[in-house]
Amino acid sequence: MIIAGAFAGTVALGIGLGFWASGDDSGPAGSAQQQSPSAGGSGAAPTGSHGQSPTPTPTRSYALSKAPRTIPAVRSHTAARGPGWRPVRGERVVVDDAGLADEGRLIAGELGLTYAGEKSDVQAGDVRLALNDGAGANPESYAMTVRGGRVNISGPTDAGVFYGTRTLKQEVHGGGTAPEGVVHDQPAKAVRGFMLDIARKHFTAGWIEDRVRELGDLKFNQLGLHFSDDQGFRIESDTHPEVVSRQHLTKAEVKRIVDLAAGRHITVVPEIDSPGHLGAVIAAHPELQLRNAQGVAASGAVDISKPAAAKIVDDLLNEYAGLFPGSQWNLGGDEYRALMVSNPSASYPQLAAAAVNKYGSGGTVSDLTTGWLNDRADTIRAHGRTMRVWNDGFFRGTSVQPAKDLQVGYWTGKEIGARQPVEYLSAGRKVINYNDEFLYYVLGQPNRFFYPTGQRIYEQWTPLVVRGTQAVSSRYDGQILGGSFAVWCDLAGSQTQDQVAAGIRMPLRATVQKLWDPGRPGLSWTQFKALAGKLG
């Protein structure tokens, strides 16, 4: 290996050997804990008989390793003395289980190593991937041991092993060395997401694939695609081709994105928002548009008193369930215009009449809207999905209750009848944090939205900060599944897709750091930003 060769050269010259750096020497990494085992390998020459010291000979001597610097930071590192590990072309990646072949091939290709498949023998320089029993362990956890010129990465699932390979990739980036010792790592939050609005702005398949690779290396595990809105419907459809925008992704392109994401343990979460945000569907079916008592059209809203509106949405939900095989689905449910007026029953008497017809004399427009959401949930539940709904798709005081298995995507507190996060949490709902104060990147910055900075997320936000800047009680921590950074394209021409990629670069890194470990980061923002620059 490179290190061994360099060491041999030093000994041959008869020069006293200094310390090999087995990590970055600029200080501790993030919030990683360094535990120092008893030192070994650097002792003095033994004393000979009669108390006389023999002639000194060169011995290997290594500084105690320092925790790796990665994004997100590893949770724990046990230091050790040794040369660490660097990739050498031709050395092997081997696996203990055939189910880790994808992870093995990926890291081998990235580091210029040879993927050798399932092997039980041991060779110098090996990177070995293994599954362990992991009873009761976080399924995304992993352990990585660097010792004796080899690397062993193990976890209870292939996802955990994959995250270990991401840590290794960052450690050796730019010619770096994976430090000697043992990493134990796991995420604090199960949902680490990035949501992209491809409905208002068309993003190319190649650009999205680049984001998938970036997200995978950062240990994100969800990619939300909001692909239907007033401005566009952006994925090819067989059941309703008439609603599809000229610029769109083909199903073949989407499948490549989904497959690429799956190989990096990222679930793609599709969203067909309804009953609002359906302007592209309405453009092809104007008869479905909601109109008030004066005949004025409600932007983007379908008339949920019309069975044809439910049918077309269910057609699309059923169709795309086959394209997106992941376990998660976003039903939307936000900003339905009928409920954004002071008196919904007076403004939309046809909805009021439909509510009474369906739910009896006490039925309200809110009941009818909640019933619509539950019906769409039934459609998706039949495909075995876990569903989320934007928080303003849940309404206070309805006799019809939202299905109990609907998770809350909390983004705003600005809607009519706004409710604090604790109202959902105290009712037992599980919440995903999309806090628009920190995590919303809205193109053109309309309506007092400002581009979020990585520094503000890094220094001020945690998953407990669900609305505004105040944290909810830590007793609700278990109900907050995680969070998602979101790009919304309200003023689509304000930035090119390359400008979007640059603008979200540091916010993404800050967000995943706080989802992986919400505690106070060990690096200052300046150090964190410099690390991000070093890692590329």
Give the C-alpha separation, 319 to 239, whole Å: 7
pLDDT at 107 over 70: yes
The pLDDT of 393-411, averaged and rounded, is 95
Q: What percent of the chain has pLDDT over 70?
A: 88
pTM of the entire structure?
0.89
HSE value, Cβ hemisphere, 13 Å, CA-based, for 270: 24
Radius of gyration, CA atoms only, the chain:
27
Give the C-alpha separation, 236 to 251, whole Å: 6
- pLDDT value, residue 13: 28
- pLDDT value, residue 50: 42
pLDDT-derived band at 59, boundaries 50, 70, 90: low
Q: What share of the chain is helix, strand, coil (3-state, %, to 5)?
A: 35, 20, 45
pLDDT tens profile 275-334: 999 999 999 999 999 999 999 999 999 999 999 999 999 999 999 999 999 999 999 999
CA torsion, ordered 238, 244, 248, 253, to nearest 10 deg: -10
- Phi and psi torsions of 389, nearest 5°: -140, 140
pLDDT at 2 over 50: no
- pLDDT value, residue 332: 97
- Among 223-232, 418-427, 479-488, 491-500, the range scoring the smallest mean pLDDT is 418-427
- Among 196-210, 336-350, 411-425, the range scoring the smallest mean pLDDT is 411-425
pLDDT at 474 over 80: yes
- pLDDT value, residue 11: 28
Q: Is 388 exposed, middle or buried (0-12, 13-18, 19+ CB in 10 A)?
A: buried
- pLDDT value, residue 364: 97
Q: Where is pLDDT greater, at 284 or 36?
A: 284
- pLDDT value, residue 172: 98
Amino acid at 317: L
Q: Which helix (H) or strand (E) holds 315?
A: helix 307-323
pLDDT at 425 over 70: yes
Q: Locate the DSSP E strands across 59-109.
A: 76-79, 92-95
Q: What is the mean pLDDT of the chain?
A: 90
pLDDT at 23 over 90: no
Tokens of 320: 């795309």
Residues 220/266, Cβ–Cβ less than 8 Å = yes
Give the C-alpha separation, 27 to 69, whole Å: 9
pLDDT at 138 over 60: yes
pLDDT at 25 over 70: no
- pLDDT value, residue 91: 97
pLDDT-derived band at 360, boundaries 50, 70, 90: very high
Q: What is the 3-state secondary structure (H, E, C) of 230-266?
A: CCCECECCCCCHHHCCCCCECHHHHHHHHHHHHHCCC
